[in-house]
């Protein structure tokens, strides 16, 4: 065999070996991730100590001691409080959440009409899910359906007063439904309006630029709570007799305008990060201003600021709970309203209600955050930078 | 202080725009709309609170229903506008609501400067004290040297200072901004006494871990007459709202209840017959712009004063509020209706 004269050199590749046991076993994972250095060891022990201190108590309160079934306060109150639980009992009152769950979702929406918000929600999910999946086709049509056709149908469906549907005034709306409507309108309005404002602020035309800057700075300079309060308490006095603007509409407009101002600044950040060469390249191709923005600048700029955009959305989602100060019942306020209800008033009711509210808010915010992380990976922004 | 400034500002604004406020015939508007728009609390135990199916229930809510029963003969023809402490006066002044039944204290400044009308009191409230039973205190006069939990910037705080000064007692105020903080401080034993409106003390006691270890003292140190309010300048509507309330008190005095109101129509007592609109040639309803059966409709729809009280806040409810000042005048209380004839 003369073709391999160096017989100390291997003639063929070795088959791949699995990683050493130390790296792939559970103990290996623990060693590398939790106990790699003395500092890690100390932190791990501290974290474990905190978990051991908190977790059993929390689980016990949340599940073991919790009261699950019942229709009034007696199941969540101890005998001295007029209930059935033994002395010293302390646990979550899930029976309260169960009894009032439908109210938490729909507020005081009439029971026999509740198929309407449910149908609206189904339509929303059916339109939203394909839009969120990068692979599904016909994005443009889908977006038009969701952001233009759907709001119109949803308005008539929820509000009624046409097509033989009974009118349901907005004071009867409430719960998670109100929170979601405020957030959806906020997002659907703030994204396009914010983009326009950001472009306006960078525009060379003095009138447009001044208008954009004024709008953004005025809105950002006033707390949302003040605007809601003014719209609720002062506005009716300035309107002619017999004129009332729906309370819910006032809140919708306020939330949408606020979100737009913040969104404008986030998108402007993205626009400024795009090198001038991109714009000049587009100009040299003979693209018009709108073509340039739509095809070259905005796709890159918006990709860059996805975390900021989602941050604004999450902030706005939580800010919707401010409408409670103008006597509107969003999700949080609907729950709080029930704390003083004599049917359920007990020492554990408020804590349970707030834990539940926190959990629902967390689910929504966490899903938004995960989706944005997924989109970032999908669009591969971090990789290119 | 903040609250004073705010209410002054709102007061000034309301006054300035009072001329533009709705002052036309509210009764005609209400009849045309087909319902009464009633301003209620955004949620107060026993007084205004939606139940699990979303219907408003409570002591104040029953007064809205009584007005609807008087006007339409149907207690369900009411729509509710939940109002906050700040927005309630604007809502009434701007015509957003036809009447306000929101545990609102009748004061001279609200009656005059804010441009509202009050005539009767549906609940006599007042500031009271709650103490742990273990202190063995029987009267507020024994509270010398006590640490008192109180919410800052409220009339409660001022009344407290006045009361202790007038009775030459020492006390240590423990002041908090938020009501929740006051509750927590009292529960944690940071103070010996909790003071706020008495109706509030009852619902608060329910939320304590040992309600039976706490006792509400008999003294009431301030006057808080709560009642429905309407806009000034529409006497006809004002009459209807007022007499709807009086009719409930009168019904209790006659012993007419929701259950026996139909039987009572056959009563031989002319007062009762007139009240229920079955006496011949009576004009007790038509003069109000209503039918003669208006009082019958109220009792049929919501019941008499005692029934409304017991159903929402009385001894069979978790709140267990005693009638006290709200008993009929004939039983030592203050609830008194002018004669309906």
How many domains does chain A fold into?
1
Q: What's chain A's average pLDDT?
A: 86
Q: Does A49 touch chain B (CB under 8 A)?
A: no
Helices (H), chain A: 21-24, 26-34, 38-59, 94-106, 115-132, 139-144, 150-159, 175-201, 206-221, 224-233, 235-238, 247-273, 276-284, 289-292, 298-304, 306-319, 331-337, 349-379, 381-384
Mean pLDDT of A62-80: 85
Helix (H, G, I), strand (E, B) or coil at A216: helix
Contact B90 A237 (CB under 8 A): yes
Q: Which helix (H) or strand (E) holds B129?
A: strand B127-132
| Burial category of B322 from C-beta neighbours within 10 Å (exposed 0-12, middle 13-18, buried 19 and up) | middle
pLDDT at B336: 93
| Closest residue in B to A169 (Cα–Cα) | B79
Which residues are paired to B105 by β-bridges?
A: B226
pLDDT at A168: 84
The more confidently predicted of residues B200 and A269 is A269
Contact A343 B210 (CB under 8 A): no
Contact A327 B87 (CB under 8 A): yes
CATH topology of domain B127-222: D-Maltodextrin-Binding Protein; domain 2 (3.40.190)
Contact A241 B90 (CB under 8 A): no
Helix (H, G, I), strand (E, B) or coil at B215: strand
Contact B86 A233 (CB under 8 A): yes
pLDDT at B17: 42
User: Quick one: CA dihedral B45, B50, B51, B56, positive or negative?
Assistant: positive
pLDDT at A193: 94
Residue A116 in any domain: the answer is no
Which position has the token pair 């994204």?
Answer: A191
Residue A357 in any domain: the answer is no
Main-chain phi, psi angles of A136, to 5 degrees: -70, 145
CATH topology agreement for domains B2-124+225-331 and B127-222: yes
pTM of the model as a whole: 0.79
Q: What is the pLDDT of residues A196-215, one digit of tens each?
A: 999 999 988 999 999 999 99
Of A109, A333, A345, the CB nearest to B45: A345
Contact A99 B81 (CB under 8 A): no
CA A365 from centre of chain: 4
Residue A251 in any domain: the answer is yes
Q: Does A327 touch chain B (CB under 8 A)?
A: yes
Q: Please check whether residue A308 is in contact with residue A372, taking contact to mean a CB–CB distance below 8 angstroms.
A: no
Q: Does A201 touch chain B (CB under 8 A)?
A: no
Mean pLDDT of A326-350: 83
A234: containing domain: 168-324
Q: How far are the Cα atoms of A187, A257, B54, B68, B337 from residue A220, in angstroms, in the given order? A: 17, 10, 37, 45, 55
For residues B280 and A135, what is the distance between their CA atoms, to the nearest angstrom? 81
- Measured between beta carbons, the chain B residues lying within 8 angstroms of A80 are 210-213
Q: Please check whether residue A158 is in contact with residue A120, taking contact to mean a CB–CB distance below 8 angstroms.
A: yes
Name the residue among B221, B213, B294, B295 with its Cα closest to residue B254.
B295
Distance spanning both ends of chain B, measured CA to CA:
47
> CATH number for the domain including A278?
1.10.3720.10
Contact A342 B81 (CB under 8 A): no
Name the residue among A352, A336, A364 with its Cα closest to residue A96.
A352
| Closest residue in B to A232 (Cα–Cα) | B87
Residue B77 token pair: 């023809």
Mutate to test the interface with A, among B2, B82, B102 (most CBs of A within 10 A): B82
pLDDT at B15: 43
Residue A217 in any domain: the answer is yes
Residue A345 in any domain: the answer is no
For residues A193 and A198, what is the distance between their CA atoms, to the nearest angstrom? 9
- Measured between beta carbons, the chain A residues lying within 8 angstroms of B94 are 236-237, 239, 241, 244
Of A82, A169, A337, the CB nearest to B43: A337
Q: Does A230 touch chain B (CB under 8 A)?
A: no
- Measured between beta carbons, the chain A residues lying within 8 angstroms of B51 are 341, 343
Residue A1 confidence (pLDDT) above 60 = no
Domain ranges of chain B: 2-124+225-331, 127-222
pLDDT at A103: 87
Give A314 to chain B, closest Cα distance, Å. 27
CATH of range B2-124+225-331; options 3.40.190.10, 3.40.430.10, 3.40.50.970, 3.50.50.60? 3.40.190.10
Q: Does B53 touch chain A (CB under 8 A)?
A: yes
Name the residue among B132, B94, B78, B76 with its Cα closest to residue B17.
B94
Contact B79 A171 (CB under 8 A): yes
Contact B95 A244 (CB under 8 A): yes
User: Quick one: CA dihedral A358, A364, A365, A369, positive or negative?
Assistant: positive
Contact A346 B206 (CB under 8 A): yes
Distance spanning both ends of chain A, measured CA to CA:
52
Residue A227 in any domain: the answer is yes
Q: How far are the Cα atoms of A174, A188, A209, A259, A273 from residue A266, in angstroms, in the given order? A: 31, 16, 17, 11, 11
Give B317 to chain A, closest Cα distance, Å. 8
CA A332 from centre of chain: 14
DSSP per-residue string spanning A284-327: HTT--HHHHIIIIIHHHHHHHTHHHHHHHHHHHHHHGGGGGGGT
Of A103, A327, A346, the CB nearest to B207: A346
Contact A237 B22 (CB under 8 A): no
pLDDT above 90: percentage of residues in chain A? 32
Q: What does R_g of chain B's alpha carbons equal in angstroms?
A: 21
Residue A109 confidence (pLDDT) above 80 = yes
- Measured between beta carbons, the chain B residues lying within 8 angstroms of A78 are 209
pLDDT at A361: 94
DSSP per-residue string spanning B37-83: EEEEES-BTTTBEE-TTS-EESHHHHHHHHHHHHHHS-TT-EEEEEE
Contact B82 A329 (CB under 8 A): yes
**Phi-psi category of residue B309: left, alpha or beta, with phi > 0 → left and psi -120 to 50 → alpha:** alpha
Note down pLDDT in tens along chain B; length 341 residues: 344 444 544 444 444 444 334 446 899 999 998 999 999 988 888 899 888 777 899 999 999 999 999 999 999 999 998 888 778 888 898 888 999 998 888 888 889 988 899 999 999 988 999 999 888 888 888 888 889 988 776 677 888 888 999 988 888 888 877 666 777 788 888 888 999 888 888 878 877 877 778 888 888 888 889 999 999 989 999 999 999 999 999 999 999 999 999 999 998 898 999 999 888 778 888 888 999 999 999 999 999 999 999 999 988 888 888 888 899 999 999 999 999 88
Contact B206 A342 (CB under 8 A): yes
With a cut of 0.90, is the ipTM above it? no
Residue A10 in any domain: the answer is no
Residue A261 in any domain: the answer is yes
Q: Which helix (H) or strand (E) holds B245?
A: helix B235-254
């Amino acid at each position: 065999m003369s073709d391999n004269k160096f017989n100390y050199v291997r003639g063929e590749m070795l088959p791949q070996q699995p990683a050493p046991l130390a790296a792939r076993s559970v103990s290996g994972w623990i060693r590398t991730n939790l106990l790699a250095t003395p500092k890690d060891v100390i932190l791990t022990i501290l974290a474990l100590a905190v978990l051991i201190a908190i977790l059993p108590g929390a689980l016990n309160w949340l599940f073991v001691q919790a009261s699950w079934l019942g229709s009034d306060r007696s199941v969540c109150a101890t005998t001295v409080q007029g209930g059935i639980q033994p002395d010293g009992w302390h646990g979550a009152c899930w029976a309260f959440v169960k009894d009032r769950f439908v109210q938490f979702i729909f507020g005081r929406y009439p029971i026999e009409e509740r198929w309407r918000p449910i149908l609206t929600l189904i339509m929303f999910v059916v339109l939203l899910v394909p839009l969120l999946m990068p692979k599904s086709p016909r994005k443009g049509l889908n977006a038009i359906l969701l952001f233009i056709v759907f709001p119109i149908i949803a308005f008539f469906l929820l509000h009624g007063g046409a097509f033989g549907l009974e009118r349901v005034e907005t004071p009867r709306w409430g719960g998670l439904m109100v929170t979601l409507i405020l957030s959806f309108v906020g997002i659907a309005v703030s994204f396009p309006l914010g983009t326009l404002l950001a472009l306006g602020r960078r525009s060379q035309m003095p009138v447009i630029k001044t208008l954009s800057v004024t709008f953004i700075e005025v809105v950002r300079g006033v707390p949302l709570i003040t605007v809601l309060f003014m719209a609720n308490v002062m506005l009716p006095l300035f309107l002619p007799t017999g004129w009332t603007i729906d309370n819910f509409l006032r809140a919708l407009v306020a939330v949408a305008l606020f979100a737009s101002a913040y969104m404008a600044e986030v998108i402007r950040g993205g626009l400024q990060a795009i090198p001038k060469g991109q714009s000049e390249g587009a100009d040299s191709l003979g693209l018009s201003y709108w073509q340039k923005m739509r095809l070259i600048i905005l796709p890159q700029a918006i990709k860059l600021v996805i975390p900021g955009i989602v941050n604004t959305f999450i902030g706005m989602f939580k800010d919707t709970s401010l409408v409670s100060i103008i006597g509107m019942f969003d999700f949080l306020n609907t729950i709080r309203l029930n704390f003083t209800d004599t049917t359920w008033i007990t020492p554990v009711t408020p804590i349970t209600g707030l834990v539940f509210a926190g959990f629902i808010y967390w689910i929504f915010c966490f899903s938004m955050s995960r989706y944005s992380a997924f989109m970032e990976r999908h669009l591969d922004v971090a990789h290119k930078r | 202080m903040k609250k004073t400034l705010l209410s002054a500002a709102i007061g000034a604004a309301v006054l300035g725009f009072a001329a533009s406020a709705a002052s036309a015939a509210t009764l005609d508007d209400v009849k045309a709309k087909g319902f009464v728009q009633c301003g209620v609390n955004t949620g107060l135990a026993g007084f205004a609170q939606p139940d699990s199916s979303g219907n408003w229930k409570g002591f104040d809510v029953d007064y809205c229903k009584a007005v609807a029963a008087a006007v339409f003969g149907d207690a369900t023809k009411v729509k509710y506008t939940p109002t906050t402490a700040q927005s309630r006066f604007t809502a009434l002044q701007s015509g957003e609501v036809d009447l306000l039944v929101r545990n609102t204290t009748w004061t001279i400044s609200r009656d005059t400067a804010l441009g509202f009308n009050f005539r009767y009191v549906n609940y006599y409230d007042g500031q009271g004290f709650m103490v742990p039973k273990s202190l063995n205190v029987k009267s507020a006069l024994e509270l010398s040297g006590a640490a008192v939990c109180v919410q800052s910037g409220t009339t409660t705080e001022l009344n407290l200072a006045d009361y202790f000064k007038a009775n030459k007692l020492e006390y240590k105020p423990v002041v908090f901004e938020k009501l929740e903080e006051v509750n927590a401080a009292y529960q944690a034993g940071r103070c010996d006494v909790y003071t706020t409106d008495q109706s509030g003390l009852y619902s608060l006691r329910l939320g304590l871990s040992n309600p039976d270890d706490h006792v509400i003292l008999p003294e009431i140190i301030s006057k808080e007459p709560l009642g429905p309010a309407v806009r000034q300048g529409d006497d006809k509507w004002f009459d209807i709202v007022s007499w709807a309330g009086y009719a409930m008190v009168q019904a209790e005095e006659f012993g007419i209840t929701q259950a026996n109101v139909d039987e009572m129509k056959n009563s031989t007592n002319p007062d009762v017959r007139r009240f229920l609109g079955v006496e011949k040639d009576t004009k007790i309803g038509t003069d109000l712009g209503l039918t003669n059966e208006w009082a019958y409709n109220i009792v049929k729809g919501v019941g008499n004063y005692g029934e409304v009280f017991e159903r929402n806040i009385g001894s069979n409810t978790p709140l267990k509020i005693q009638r006290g000042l709200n008993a009929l005048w004939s039983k030592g209380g203050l609830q008194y209706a002018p004669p309906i004839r």
